Amino acid sequence: MLMQNDGPPPKGAQTLLTGLSLVRFVADGAKKASELQSLTGLPRSTVHRLLQALKSEGYLRDTPEGLSLGATLIELGFSALSGNPLAAVAKPHLDGLAAQVLDTVHLAVRDHDTVLYLVKIPGQRGADMRSQVGSRMPLTRTGIGKAMLLDEDPAAWAERWRVEVPADETAAAPASRTAGAKAEEDFIGRMRHYRKGGYAYDMEENEPGIRCVAAPVRDGSGAVVGAISISATAPYMPANRMRDLLTPVQETATTISREIGYGPAR
């Protein structure tokens, strides 16, 4: 919480940080000036002046439901995503992969312990999926997220699993605890298998009816800096096809990796 300030709004850097905190609270769901006043501890007059400035510049806007992010932020967000060097390098290769497989192709990076989608090329068949450029998904529930976790150790996998595990798997009942422990053990076992193969699957864990095959993208140091995936509805993703897709997704990931400096040991 910000410190109470009964005088005029703070100047300089503090004013900027205060305004950004209001934008963040609106992004997190705050709809009214009164909510922002409560969240920040600022006087009503200060919140009002900052909101007026943010709305005049298009960072926030009024809607029938209350405050919302403005067009300026949307524009800047898409500019940031499209300006990401990894996205720029990867896009031609992802276009080629999408044309080859006819399914949805994604590029994502890890950001604040979530999957952040940078590129989505919709497939030419089957239903669309809820992923969108700029949206975030769990690391342990998505194939593309698991691909970005391949270099971590089992203890880190387990910790991440516990953070993201659904509430019904952490219930107090002994049976639920036992089921949760078994699910965690199964997850660690799958991750060990994926790490050996250099890929990851999503077997409808994130979205019912959607499966995907993913592979990591590495930079010049060999570190995982992102991942790509091929996703489709389950009827188009039987086990044998998922195995067949490993070659094109891994080859494309390797091509992208080499263009950003990765040179695997020979």
Cβ atoms of 217 and 227 closer than 8 Å: yes
DSSP SS3 for 65: coil
Which pLDDT does position 175 carry in this prediction?
47
**Nearest CA-CA partner of 94 in 191, 231, 196:** 231
pTM for the complete prediction?
0.68
What integer best gives the mean pLDDT of the chain?
Answer: 83
d(CA 166, CA 28): 21
- If we measure between CA atoms, which residue out of 253, 188, 190, 170 comes closest to residue 219? 253
**229 pairs with which residues across the strands?**
106, 214
Residues of the chain with CATH 1.10.10.10: 12-77
Q: In which band, very low, low, confident or very high, does the pLDDT at 109 lie, cut at 50, 70 and 90?
A: very high
Tell me which residue has tokens 């992923």: 131
Question: For the chain, what percentages of helix, strand and coil (3-state, to nearest 5) are there?
Answer: 50, 20, 30
Which pair of structure tokens corresponds to residue 259? 């263009």
pLDDT tens digits along 38-96: 888 888 888 888 888 888 888 888 888 888 887 777 666 656 555 567 888 899 999 99
Give ranges for CATH 3.30.450.40 in the chain. 83-259
121 pLDDT band, cuts 50/70/90, is very high
CATH code, 83-259: 3.30.450.40
Residue predicted with more confidence, 212 or 134: 212
Residue whose C-alpha is closest to residue 26's, from 56, 47, 11, 4: 47
Question: Are 129 and 215 within 8 A, CB to CB?
Answer: no
Torsion of CA 28, 158, 197, 92, to 10 degrees: 10
Query: How far is 143 from 190, CA to CA, in rounded Å?
Result: 11
Is 244 or 135 the better-scoring residue by pLDDT?
Answer: 244
Q: Which helix (H) or strand (E) holds 211?
A: strand 210-218
Where do we find the tokens 């276009």? 95
Would the pLDDT of 221 be above 50? yes
DSSP string, 107-170: EEEEETTEEEEEEEE--SSS---S--TT-EE-TTTSHHHHHTTTTS-HHHHHHHHHHHS-GGGS
- Relative orientation angle of helices 44-56 and 33-40, to the nearest 10 degrees: 120
* Protein fold of 12-77: Arc Repressor Mutant, subunit A (1.10.10)
DSSP letter, residue 32:
S
Q: What is the pLDDT of residues 147-172, one digit of tens each?
A: 999 999 999 999 999 888 754 444 44
Q: Which tokens is 239 given?
A: 């086990």
Contacts of 218 (CB under 8 A, 6+ apart): 224, 225, 257, 262
| pLDDT at res. 75 | 66
- Token pair of 187 as six digits: 């997850």
* Among 256, 249, 246, 251, residue whose Cα is nearest residue 217: 256
